[in-house]
Each structure stands twice: as C-alpha cells, then as structure tokens.
Amino acid sequence: MRDTILIVTDSKEPNVARVTQHLDAAHHQYVRVDVDKFLQGSRVTFRETKGACSWVLRINGGDVSDKDICSVWHRRPSSPKASESIHPLYREFVENETAKFFWGLWTSLDIDFFWMNHPRATRLLEFNKLYQMKIASDVGLPTPETLVTNSPSDAVSFIDAHGGSAAMKIFGGAVIQNEEGEMLTVLTHRVSRRQAKRWLGDLGCGPVMLQEYIEKQLEFRVTVVGGRIFSCAIHSQDSQRTKDDWRRYDFDAVKHEVCCLPSAVEEKLRLFMQRCGISFGAIDLILDPDGRYVFLEVNPSGQWGWIEHLTGMPISQCIAETLASPPHSR
C-alpha cells in the first residue's frame, strides 16, 4: 500500500519541522532523507531490469521502497557529505558520484509519484526569471518591461525611456563576498541615469537586468500549495527601507496581512503553476496604482515560515495534507 511520504531535504532546512509536526499529529507515515547526511550510515539499492526500476532506502534502521511511496517532498536538499574517514583525495569524488546518482534516481521516478516539486521542474525555474516571465505572459499575467544587456548605450536608452530610472535586478545568487571576506546581500534597487553612468563603463563585463520600475500600492507574497492559494499583502511602502525590495525587512513598520486576490488573478496563478509543472510556489506580485497585479517571479523552493508566523495562515498544515492525500489519489 502506498501510504508513505518521502521527504528529501537538508538537515538544516528550517521549515520541514513545521510540516512534520502536522504529519505526526495526524499519524501519517513519512521518511525523511537528509541528503547532506545520507553517506553517514544510510543505504540505498537501485535496480533496473528490462526497463522496470525499483529501489530501497534504509534510513535510521528502517527500510522504505518505491512500492511504499505515495508522494515525494523534494525540499531544498544540499550536496551529500562523505565521511571524514575517507581520504581527502577521494572525498569529493564520492560526493559528486552520490549527487549524480540521486539526480538519476529522482528523474527516473517522475511518473509514479506526486511531487512537491519535481527537481527537474525546480531546476528549470530557479534563477530563471526570463523563462518565468514568458510563462506568466502566456497565461495573461502582466510583467514588467525588461531589458538584459551589456551594452551601455542600450542601458541608458532603456532608463531614459522609463522616466530616467529603472529597477536593477540580478539573475540569482544574491550573496557575494567582498575583499574583506564579508558576505554581502544583493537586492533589487532603483537606479537613475546619473547613478547608472558610474558603472556603465563596467557593463561590458557581463549582462545586467533592468526592468521598468513599477510604482506600488502593495506587494504580495502568494504561496500556492496544490491548488490552494495563501495570499499575504505586504505594506512595503510604509517604510523607506522596504520601498524598493521588501526583503530588506522592517517588520515593526511593515504590516503583513491575509488578503484575497481577485478570482481572475488566482485562476491565472493556478494556470501558471500548471504550466510550470509545480505544485508548490512562492510568488511575488505588485499591485500598481492603476490596480494591475504585476507578476515578478516565483520561487519553487521559497520560504513561508515568517508569513505563517505573522499571519496565522495554515500553510504548513496544507502542505502536510496535500502530501498525505495527493491529488491523483483522491
């Protein structure tokens, strides 16, 4: 009987416990695989015979096989870490081989289980704003006008065409290290033509993303679980610190509250999720002064703990219920 949830994650992932406490309370069976610790005592056997795949995992002394699984929650696993007893010359090789095996394992199982989310879909979407915007536009969600360029003249023309300023964004990897070894977070910020001139000479080093700056009434963090939508309005314009990017966080000044999106917007978000092939996503939207809901991006592995804490929305419970009773089994 397929009644076990497989949780593939990392030992330090903070929000998994929010979900497993609901699974425990409802007496649902699950097996947690912390990929970073897998090589420290766990076992796996995979077989392929005449096109048929089967596998068994031994975790914490217990076995779970492909015949037991009803759903898989693939939640931000990190790389496997080999035992310190292995010679350093071979440790990286063992870790890389194990990571490649897991990728092969997950991608061989996509037909049989409900996934939240399949790693192939996650990999396609992560740090891929251009692809996300194309899908959003295809389903009728407005998106900001965007330019990606390493041409100084094109960058200036774009900024001039949008009133003399634009939003500068990065594609992903929002942390860099400076010469002193400090870790710096790179967030969205608004740049003027005058400010842009300071770095235009360096633009040829690599392409930069510029978007029209969307004036905001409100921002929204919309967490979609299965077909259920949890929408949180973020009053980012109430604080100078968060006007350009709410991820600068100012919880004392910036209200977070439960809200309802227009039904037409919700249906477009559901269609967007379907086109992306994901069952979980954390979506960022802007409500502009004209009443348009503008799509910014989706994080297929986004966090939701702080939203749940501030609003009381039962996101973790919904994840647990969806994994325990996946749509294809209802």
Tokens 């690599």: give the residue: 206
CB atoms within 10 A of CB 236: 26
Q: Please check whether residue 330 is in contact with residue 70, taking contact to mean a CB–CB distance below 8 angstroms.
A: no
Q: Are strands 4-9 and 69-74 parallel, antiparallel or unpaired?
A: parallel
Structure confidence at residue 242 as a pLDDT band (50, 70, 90): confident
Per the document, the length of the chain is 330
243-285 pLDDT, tens per residue?
Answer: 766 666 667 778 899 999 999 999 999 999 999 999 999 999 9
Token reading at 86 = 């292995």
Nearest residue to 21 (alpha-carbon basis) of 228, 321, 329, 300: 321
Question: Exposed e or buried b for every residue in 67-80, given b needs 16+ CB within 10 A?
Answer: ebbbbbbbbbbeeb
Q: Examine residue 150 and say whether the peptide bond preceding it is cis (omega within 30 degrees of 0).
A: no
Q: Specify the pLDDT at position 59.
A: 87
pLDDT greater than 60 at residue 178: no
**Segments of the chain assigned E as strands:** 4-9, 29-34, 43-49, 52-59, 62-65, 69-74, 114-116, 146-149, 165-169, 175-177, 183-185, 189-192, 208-211, 218-225, 228-234, 256-259, 280-287, 293-299
Structure confidence at residue 107 as a pLDDT band (50, 70, 90): confident
Domains and CATH numbers, the chain: 4-112 (no CATH), 145-211 (3.30.1490.20), 215-329 (3.30.470.20)
pTM for the predicted model, two decimal places: 0.89
Q: Specify the pLDDT at position 330.
A: 47
Chain CA centroid to CA 33, Å: 19
Q: Specify the pLDDT at position 196.
A: 72
